[in-house]
Chains A and B, each alone.
Chain A
């Protein structure tokens, strides 16, 4: 095509969209292409398991940027197209229909896909997953009052769906293999609050239970549980985690290690190729360089922005504190930092009943904080904890536990 090689972003989700706009914000005024696998402009995924399920009508996706914003940003958005190869020698991305786009720097923001249920026949038996807006519409249609919904996996997606289905009047059973809910992401105390809330809403929560087999029976699905029991469901949805979408990077010979392997600058093993969001793993500077991969809205946005600036030479290490939220019924759970990094727990019991759970490392550093409360009741304290974690603060456990000492006051004592 003879055009000047520009910046190319593969992946039209939260991360890719943010990166494209951040490239412009950081001053890039050359060609800029955003390639999205879905046929629609980038949209927000958090509502898919929540308001998209519980709202009065099936609704269009919550658009991050519409065609006009993309046009105004000078972003050439190629929708409904996947990238099939990266020709690194020639600095070109190859798209599914054969078109080649020259790049100066490339960002891989291909996200993650739902982990398929590893049970023979699961695919054929119509197990549903939730990842895209079209998945959400199809699932929503099945959440009719009285419908028997089997949710496989008691993680965030499964539990948000269980809450939404319950609010729609469905009879919901959650089957979780681990001994408790959300075992990867939260503390046992918060998991217990969430389990109690689901049970109060009428959800049948079965932990320590796996699914051994699946079969169709009279238009429904029979789940054979590892406990020997069976469960008849009108709809089965699996939320057992996500798999990073690394096929493109792998085919191009880039290093892959639980995601596309990048360094703290989000650079892959090729200095002109970057990766960000759910698809990548990187060594987190705040956690001793431990290699992690996150699947969260905030991380997707923040890494997209940082990768964009680094593509333009900013040399900015990505050390943002992991931060996550989940809405279930009237409860919102907030987590900052990595819960499994902490060795000591300190609990702050606020006068309004909200408990903030802090986790400290062996050196006394604050590494994580989490809380659950009605709507955004815990948000501010978790945000302040996040800022303390970012500054590598070592607050005294007694002070941390004292609800009369504001976290903002602790933050003011920290050097910048």
Chain B
């Protein structure tokens, strides 16, 4: 069972963008797709642990700010070298204009 944590307001994230969220010492990245859907992944790249919230969101892709490793943030799928390990994803639900992510 997931524990739902309020991460941010819906309007805190621009479409096709990402913001950081920290809970209990763990970093997450919360995304809003160009279509207005919300997603959440682990906060750091699986390659060299760079913070993904400083990376560039283009369509459904987040690109690591340091080495340009790319992931599909809707599935966590790594797009190939230099990133070889998929990104962990977390369920998201919207309630009363607040984005909640399911952890645990």
- B66's partner among A18, A379, A384, A408 (CB-CB below 8 A) is A379
B7-37: CB near A (< 8 Å → 1, else 0) gives 0000000001000000000000000000000
For B16, the chain A residues whose CB sits under 8 A away are 408
Cβ contact within 8 Å between B68 and A380: no
CA distance A294 to B39 in the complex (A): 38
B55 interface contact, C-beta 8 A: yes
CA distance A187 to B51 in the complex (A): 27
For B50, the chain A residues whose CB sits under 8 A away are 376
For B65, the chain A residues whose CB sits under 8 A away are 376, 379-380, 383
For A64, the chain B residues whose CB sits under 8 A away are 82
CA distance A413 to B96 in the complex (A): 34
Distance in angstroms from B52 CB to nearest chain A CB is 10
Cβ contact within 8 Å between A21 and B81: yes
CA distance A379 to B56 in the complex (A): 9
For B54, the chain A residues whose CB sits under 8 A away are 375-377, 379-380
For B82, the chain A residues whose CB sits under 8 A away are 64, 301
A298 interface contact, C-beta 8 A: yes
- A325's partner among B51, B55, B66 (CB-CB below 8 A) is B66
For B67, the chain A residues whose CB sits under 8 A away are 297-298
Cβ contact within 8 Å between A384 and B56: yes
Distance in angstroms from B23 CB to nearest chain A CB is 21
Cβ contact within 8 Å between B63 and A383: yes
By size class, the interface of chain B is 10 to 19
Question: Chain A residue with minimal CB distance to B17?
Answer: A408
Cβ contact within 8 Å between A380 and B56: yes
Contact residues of A between 1 and 53, Cβ < 8 Å to B:
18, 21, 25
B70-99: CB near A (< 8 Å → 1, else 0) gives 000000000011100000000000000000
Question: Chain B residue with minimal CB distance to A297?
Answer: B67
Cβ contact within 8 Å between A379 and B55: yes
Distance in angstroms from A60 CB to nearest chain B CB is 15
Question: Chain A residue with minimal CB distance to B63?
Answer: A383
For B66, the chain A residues whose CB sits under 8 A away are 325, 376, 379
For A383, the chain B residues whose CB sits under 8 A away are 55-56, 63, 65, 68
- B68's partner among A25, A298, A384 (CB-CB below 8 A) is A298
For A25, the chain B residues whose CB sits under 8 A away are 80
Interface centre among B16, B63, B66 (most CB of A within 10 A): B66
Cβ contact within 8 Å between B56 and A18: no
For B68, the chain A residues whose CB sits under 8 A away are 298, 383
Question: Chain A residue with minimal CB distance to B66?
Answer: A376
Distance in angstroms from B53 CB to nearest chain A CB is 9
For B51, the chain A residues whose CB sits under 8 A away are 375-376
Distance in angstroms from A69 CB to nearest chain B CB is 9
For B55, the chain A residues whose CB sits under 8 A away are 376, 379-380, 383
Interface centre among B50, B51, B63, B68 (most CB of A within 10 A): B68
CA distance A375 to B65 in the complex (A): 10
Contact residues of A between 350 and 401, Cβ < 8 Å to B:
375-377, 379-380, 383-384
CA distance A380 to B80 in the complex (A): 20
CA distance A377 to B20 in the complex (A): 13
Interface centre among A301, A375, A377, A380 (most CB of B within 10 A): A380
B35-65: CB near A (< 8 Å → 1, else 0) gives 0000000000000001100111000000101
Cβ contact within 8 Å between B81 and A18: yes
For A325, the chain B residues whose CB sits under 8 A away are 66
A296-316: CB near B (< 8 Å → 1, else 0) gives 011001000000000000000
For A380, the chain B residues whose CB sits under 8 A away are 54-56, 65
CA distance A380 to B67 in the complex (A): 12
CA distance A220 to B63 in the complex (A): 47
CA distance A297 to B47 in the complex (A): 15
A114-131: CB near B (< 8 Å → 1, else 0) gives 000000000000000000
A279-301: CB near B (< 8 Å → 1, else 0) gives 00000000000000000011001
20 inter-chain pairs at a CB distance below 8 angstroms, sorted by A residue, are: A297-B67, A298-B67, A298-B68, A301-B81, A375-B54, A376-B50, A376-B65, A376-B66, A377-B54, A379-B54, A379-B65, A379-B66, A380-B54, A380-B55, A380-B56, A380-B65, A383-B55, A383-B63, A383-B68, A384-B56
Interface residues of A (CB under 8 A from B): 18, 21, 25, 64, 297-298, 301, 325, 375-377, 379-380, 383-384, 408
Q: Which 10 A-B pairs have the closest CB atoms?
A: A379-B65, A376-B54, A376-B65, A383-B56, A380-B56, A379-B54, A380-B54, A376-B50, A376-B66, A376-B51
A64-B82, A297-B67, A377-B54 given; name 18 further pairs at CB < 8 Å.
A25-B80, A298-B67, A325-B66, A375-B51, A376-B50, A376-B51, A376-B54, A376-B66, A379-B55, A379-B65, A379-B66, A380-B55, A380-B65, A383-B55, A383-B63, A383-B68, A384-B56, A408-B16
